[in-house]
Structure 1
């Protein structure tokens, strides 16, 4: 069913809140509210979309140009850690920074000012990431002394200069001997040291990055060879055999690094290998996400949220007859898993319940096409090593045991994916969560997703709904409540363990033990969670709860004060597109922005729970 928006709802959802307050007279004004009716219908009322387009950001085309030009340069200079790639990207970013300064900030509409700040922050972040890449290139250099030779081969081709077949064959032949010698030395050293080689300045994380770079160089060499082989007879005559030998040598060398310096053995669960960025490394991420808190302050927020959730867990445990032993109640819920093959059908029922419940609240517009097109698929056993739960979107992938898993793996997967644990996460992944976010991102302000995909907006929004639905009595029974609190506790725990890991305070094993002992995870699922944390962006895991708390604080400011209805608030967030929540706040309040605007919103208020 498609409801008609009230004029006030349509106005605040589709027009630009700041435009009304701050746009100069020369800029397009907000269209008549009645013209905006019907954007969510299937098919939509086209005049509503025309009205929306007339009030878009002044910098939309600039953002698209930045994103597309950066991507084009990345494709033109595809060799990672290449000095040529770094130099070209640095010139690109610095050139854009200079051009951005030339813009008359005050002449922009509010959406344009928001995009100005987003673009400015992204350029600063991209430059910081170039510095990080250069640092990492130096760290892996001792393990990849041949990297520059492969780089030059491919970049010469991309510079539109022809390779000399005989010289190329000689170079590849020399590289075969070099790489084979490196592999042999590593294998021999491993034999003397019981299989694990430790070299000064080379951590397992650096070694893994080096092995992955060897694989990248192998693919680079393949691209170079494919361009000539079979098309240039002289090239094929000279190069085909040394190329095949070097391809095999790269494969063996990457495997040797993984086995003897990282500890990844074929047929065995890989160790948890990560690269903590430490306090200094977190600064660029906190800046681009506009989080004005220190890591220590964020950990304290996580601990306060964890304590509140644990208190609620005890209340539910008492209602279930387990006293204050909430972990006993959790254990009971873990054993309520359906038999193999039944999980998709259980989750279809939960999805139907969730959408109906939220529709009846009348707090967000849910386009009927978005509800029609989502579907389920099953997560592979390999992927479950990194994500033992859901991964959402239009195609949402479910985790559950397969017949090829070992018995212990089957049991842990079932116990971690009971319907009551899945209950709060179905809407998180579908509607109004990630699927609806993606649906809207592709249709409104789509330039922002490419520029500023931020987990604080993406994951924060999905978890925010879990918080709101808890307050609205969403749970069907006590096991559902345990499931909702379990995941909420898990997201508070993510702040605590992931930041302690990134700061170098906790080892991966300490993180796993924390999730098992304090949150109640199955060990295999806890290991998968930490493995994912070790490979994700540094702030990704804290973004769930932190982003949700930001949106909840903004809801109190705008909805509970009576300035907006819930429907207006929720629609406006989705239509605005991904951005740090502080800029969502600026967009919805029409806050006066300056070109040098910095993060300043201290959103957390424990007393306001």
Structure 2
């Protein structure tokens, strides 16, 4: 049933491909309601324990998707004054083509001309009256509008290519109105960027905008992730973990001769970077070290193909604005300055990707972290990817930083500072992301917080905050690293240290069970029975 739901949703989204289309929203709503009714007819007492877990996961997923669609539909009302009616008229044309509804060239030309006229009126109004708003909600609405119009532009080009050269009469009517509409859409995006968002780059990546979801939104996400803590309690957890990190930082700082001034010791570590052209060699050296360590200590199974088949790519300068550090998974994408970057940006990138800090990044992104995860997800219970969560994905990779720290993987003061930097960073992510979404911090305050509390380079702090709030991550994503790691760490204490489960068996079982909220994973691994409508109850951290 879960495999069918996954495939059905994929087909629906491919067919109704305009993400903000009301047709798509209504179709998904109907589908999720139908599946919820189908699931409710299943008798739980006829399922084994693993299927009962899947029942609870699917039930929560369907309910959350319906709620999310309701919220999304409501949020579209904020964009009506910016992109309507021209957006709906373009969506109608595009969806007629998707359904292959007979459409005459004259009809399409008149629709495009009406769109162009409406865009012209809106451009005039924005130019005359529009100015960058200090209201974050208004700026985020404008940011979303720019992205949606960009989506429309791509779909409109595909729409034209469908008819071009095949239907000569259609092309005769629509060629000029089509080109005029494309020019107008480009002008619209540029004008909204510069006048309503305050970004002259015309690509909506230069400024940091975001829409806080509010405390109620965070609580809804916590419910979906089966987290039995309030936002305020999660911030307390982060502060407690940060205090531990700072104490350890001071110990390492003293060992380097900097006394209690751990920020000075961190500055020393940041300058331990490799010269241009050497970063990929460093990555492979650090990867071999991590793999050898986990294999030597028999901590987790490392399949031959997982160890052998991972690729390395360099991250383009523009992408480094959003992702200043390595990215990983199936491949490793190395963040390091290129010859096109300014001198100051080069130094900040090199200092942010120094050897001691990269040492943690490499095992986080490759083995035993994300690359090993992706390898196993593709081979064991991959259907559970429908329930993907940062608490499992990011929590697993960061959990290894706990385990390897405990085992003394960081031997030198520099290596300890490299690991502690990331641990502090994950504490800070909980604080700044939750406080932003509760309206207690601005993006600039979040940047300053990362610089002051963690010791980030300002450019890397800006990249972290930009990717946190520009719409690609939900409100809990950045909190999922530390909190997911703490959940798995708490399970380890119960099952490995407390119940005597072999460490390797514990780690392999997590990877083979697939993606899901950690409380549900714990119930599965401990053979706990769950009931429909299960609510979070596990207090995994002692406040």
Q: Which one of the candidate residues 70, 86, 90 is aligned to 1:150?
A: 90
Measure how far apart 1:375 and its partner are.
Answer: 2.7
> Is 1:245 aligned with 2:180?
yes
Residue equivalent to 2:402: 467
Q: What's the CA shift for 1:96?
A: 0.6
Please point out which of 486, 507, 514 is paired with 1:570.
Answer: 507
* Structure 1 runs not aligned, ≥5 long: 1-61, 191-195
Matched, 1:213 2:145: no
- Pairwise mapping of residues 180-199 of structure 1 onto structure 2 (< 5 A)? 180-189=120-129, 196-198=131-133
Residue among 128, 132, 136 paired with 2:75: 136
Instruction: Measure how far apart 1:266 and its partner are.
Output: 2.6
What does residue range 529-608 of structure 1 map to in structure 2 within 5 Å? Answer: 529-535=464-470, 536-605=473-542
Unaligned runs of 5+ in 2: none
Alpha-carbon distance in 2 for matches of 1:158, 1:351: 47
SS at 1:133 equivalent: helix
1:200 is displaced (CA, Å) by: 8.5
Q: 1:277 aligns with which of 207, 213, 231?
A: 213
Q: Residue 346 of structure 1 aligns to a residue in which SS?
A: helix
Instruction: Report matched runs for 1:75-114 at 5 Å.
Output: 75-114=14-53
Q: CA deviation at 1:202?
A: 6.0
Equivalent pair of 1:207/1:262 in contact (CA under 8 Å): yes
Structure 1 equivalent of residue 113 of structure 2: 173
Distance 1:469 1:199, change over 3 A: closer
Question: TM-score, with normalisation over the residues of structure 2?
Answer: 0.97
1:297 to 233, 241, 252: 233
- Which of 342, 354, 373 is the matching residue for 1:406? 342
Q: Give the match's secondary structure for 2:497.
A: coil
Hey, what's the Cα distance between the residues in 1 that align with 2:293 and 2:108?
Answer: 66
* Structure-1 separation of matches of 2:220 and 2:499: 36
> Are residue 354 (structure 1) and residue 290 (structure 2) matched?
yes
TM-score, scaled to structure 1: 0.86
Between Structure 1 and Structure 2, how many residues are aligned?
A: 539
Q: Structure 1 residues 365, 201: closer, same or farther in 2, change over 3 A?
A: closer
Structure 1 residue 561: deviation in Å?
Answer: 1.1
SS at match of 2:333: strand
* Secondary structure of the corresponding residue to residue 402 of structure 1: coil
RMSD over aligned Cα, in angstroms?
A: 1.6
1:454 paired residue number: 389
Q: Which runs of 4+ in 1 moved over 4 A?
A: 199-202
Alpha-carbon deviations, 1:389-441, whole Å to 9, x = none? 01012310111111110011011101111001111121111111000000000
Query: Is the Cα contact below 8 Å between 1:166 and 1:238 reproduced in 2?
Result: yes
SS in 2 for 1:203: helix
Aligned to 1:421: 357
Question: Which whole-Å deviations, capped at 9, do the CAs of 1:100-122 have from their partners, x for residues lacking one?
Answer: 00001121122211111111111
**1:391 aligned residue (327, 335, 340):** 327
Residue 238 of structure 2 contacts residue 431 of structure 2 at CA under 8 Å; is this kept in 1?
yes
> In the alignment, is the contact (CA less than 8 A) between 1:263 and 1:270 conserved in 2?
no
* Corresponding residue number in structure 2 for 1:528: 463
Give the secondary-structure state (helix, strand or coil) at the position aligned to 2:498.
Answer: coil
1:444 aligns with 2:383: no
1:32-83 residue CA offsets vs partner (Å, 9 max, x unmatched): xxxxxxxxxxxxxxxxxxxxxxxxxxxxxx0010011111111222222222
Instruction: Give the Å deviation of 1:188.
Output: 3.4
Supply the distance in 1 between the matched residues of 2:190 and 2:428 (Cα, whole angstroms): 35
Indicate the residue corresponding to 1:55 in structure 2. none
Task: Tell me the residue number matched to 1:58.
Answer: none
Q: Which one has a bigger Cα radius of gyration?
A: 1
CA distance in 2, matches of 1:523, 1:529: 10
Question: What is the Cα deviation at residue 224 of structure 1?
Answer: 2.3
